[in-house]
Amino acid sequence: MSPPPSRKRTASQDETHAVHDSHSSKAAKTVPSASQQNNSQQADTQRRERSAKNLYDDTLKMIDRNVRVMDRKVSGETGDDPLDYTTDDYAKLVCRHSKTVNALAAVDNTLAFNLVLSMADASHADLDTTLEMCGEDPAETARYFQSLDNLLLLLIKAREQPAELCWQLLEVPVRWSRRRTRSQDAESDEDPDEWSEPDYE
């Protein structure tokens, strides 16, 4: 015996309402609020900054390690012929990190800028170490250092201007100003020759 049609419609309507309710609850769960989005973006930014700092630190350690190895080769400690190495070899060691600089610049321009300065400092050696230390091909040497210069120029242009300077010029006393009138000088009992230097401390 089949149930009455009215009860069938009621059951169908109940199922429809249940489906709508479940969809609305799912939709409410999947749509994050504005605060949740901000928190997520902030967490993502912090994660990228931490990764950039770790990459920066690891790259500096790698550069220092490679330079120490090259120093030992140049000094003959490893049995290598010091004449086989020039300052170009130091430049090659650091120029291979150019991609790292670009990756850092996308996250933290200051880290990228400091890394290039460290690379430039490690890109040359004491030219008096050996007779051939300055290299034999000036064009090859210039190519590496030009690459470093180009990296540095791009980062300098991208550096943000400070909102305000951390220092300001000291205010010159009025008595030293050219706007002081003769009448003011006449009223003054001070001898200009006895004026003391301002205290800058």
CB 55 within 8 A of CB 104: yes
Cα(46)–Cα(49) distance, integer angstroms: 5
Domain residues of the chain, as ranges?
Answer: 47-160
In this prediction, residue 200 carries a pLDDT of: 42
pLDDT value at residue 183: 53
Q: How far apart are CA 151 and CA 157, in angstroms?
A: 10
Q: Write out the DSSP string of 21-53.
A: HHHHHHHHHHS--HHHHHHHHHHHHHHHHHHHH
Give me the pLDDT at residue 199, please. Answer: 47
Mean pLDDT check: name the lowest of 111-120, 128-137, 157-166, 177-186: 177-186
Most confident residue range from 129-143, 165-179, 181-195: 129-143
User: Token pair for residue 135?
Assistant: 């290299």
pLDDT band of residue 184 (cuts 50, 70, 90) is low
pTM over 0.85: no
pLDDT digits (tens, 9 = 90+) for 47-60: 988 999 999 999 99
Helix axes 34-75, 87-95, angle to 10 degrees: 160
Listed in sequence order, the residues at least 6 apart from 135 whose beta carbon sits closer than 8 Å to its beta carbon are: 86, 87, 88, 141
Residue with tokens 């350690």: 61
Tell me what pLDDT residue 44 has: 84
Q: Is the pLDDT of residue 81 over 60?
A: yes
Alpha helices in 76-180 (DSSP H): 87-95, 98-105, 109-122, 138-158
Give per-residue pLDDT as tens, 106-119: 999 999 999 999 99
Do 134 and 88 contact (CB within 8 A), yes or no? no
